Structure 1
């Protein structure tokens, strides 16, 4: 279960972006967060991931206040239990597609052979079969997005955080990716939070929330 308790955050400029945010997301729920640009959606994802810390309040994941963890403890939690899809992809240019996707498995101690097999299967499921030995420089933006999604799901995380996961995809590919995303999440009993401007992406979620200056509330 994910609990936000009176979470507040300001930008470095001093502008308040999140103010005393409260919400609870049960285990196994797939939630879409929508809202105007600049309202703090990506900031909220970074706080939940422990990549940034709130100015005040608590973010509890399974009863653990992620903002109170030491850096190495937060890193370990992210590596083992979280999956991320960032707008900037963060695909490593010097690794092949299969190596990029397999990275979470390898960091968690999986054997090289099984990790590569799982990575190839994920790439195939996202329409990139036969591309496992290619490098990111050979990809379009939409293909890079699919690699990032495959990497986020490959180790079956218990919490998936995705920032505009279909932002670089055409509608047909987005439909395929969203279907797979939901299937993977549900089959693993995972919790997922996606930030999106796309009504089609939001429609795949169990619940749609709007983030406004007044807080987080059902759409």
Structure 2
């Protein structure tokens, strides 16, 4: 897979990897190497210049906008680095949104809010929360509909160490309980260590971390 921007600026190249059902992979690498771009490409929010992305056997580039939206709605959970919490909805309504769009019962929204440490806050609005709390809402929303593929962009970037540990445990628990797969982009060695496998992204593609190799410090 290859992705370029503007006047031929190459962001991703020589990118070729697969993710097994139930596998949880962390991707590390220097800032600007294209980690977030990779997540956007997988989610169909951006388009590669060459190559193909298959999700559950479906080639994303073969789908029209409606079909791609339907696939994302049903099978993907995306934890955005910028949260994208809707300010006019309560926390419960924000978390329940994927359930509403999938015509599923919405009771699990309160369960997930409690799981990320926001029990009793369902009627609050985003303006009443700190950045770390908004990140927790974003994580609950991404997990609530039990997606088959979770894409997480720096999910612990705004959390204190204790909360980050709890959220990573919840993320792994949900992945394993639902047989989901997950790709987490992170600069945090502690976050990466929670994954089944760690990959490093460079200008030449992705490489696996050899056994008994120390994680690099955050960039």
TM-score by length of 1: 0.94
Q: Deviations over 1:57-109 (max 9, x none)?
A: 01111221112211111000000010000011000000000000000000001
Q: Which residue of 2 aligns with 1:48?
A: 42
RMSD: 0.8
Q: Does 2:78 align with 1:84? A: yes
Question: Which contiguous aligned blocks of 4+ residues in structure 1 show a shift greater than 3 angstroms?
Answer: none
Q: Does 2:130 align with 1:131? A: no
* Greater Cα shift, 76-85 or 17-26: 17-26
CA shift for structure 1 position 14: 2.6
Q: Please point out which of 187, 191, 194 is paired with 2:181.
A: 191
Q: Does 2:157 align with 1:167? A: yes
Q: Unaligned regions of 5+ residues in structure 1, if any?
A: 1-6
CA shift for structure 1 position 54: 0.4
Higher strand proportion: 1
Q: Is the 8 A contact 1:41 1:211 kept in 2?
A: yes
Distance 1:192 1:22 in 2: 16
Distance 2:44 2:61 in 1: 6
Aligned length: 209
* Greater Cα shift, 16-25 or 49-58: 16-25
Aligned ranges 1:4-43 → 2 under 5 Å: 7-43=1-37
Q: Is the 8 A contact 1:33 1:194 kept in 2?
A: yes
Distance 2:188 2:180 in 1: 22
Q: What's the secondary structure of 1:210's corresponding residue? A: strand
Q: What's the secondary structure of 2:176's corresponding residue? A: helix
TM-score by length of 2: 0.94
Q: What's the secondary structure of 2:198's corresponding residue? A: strand
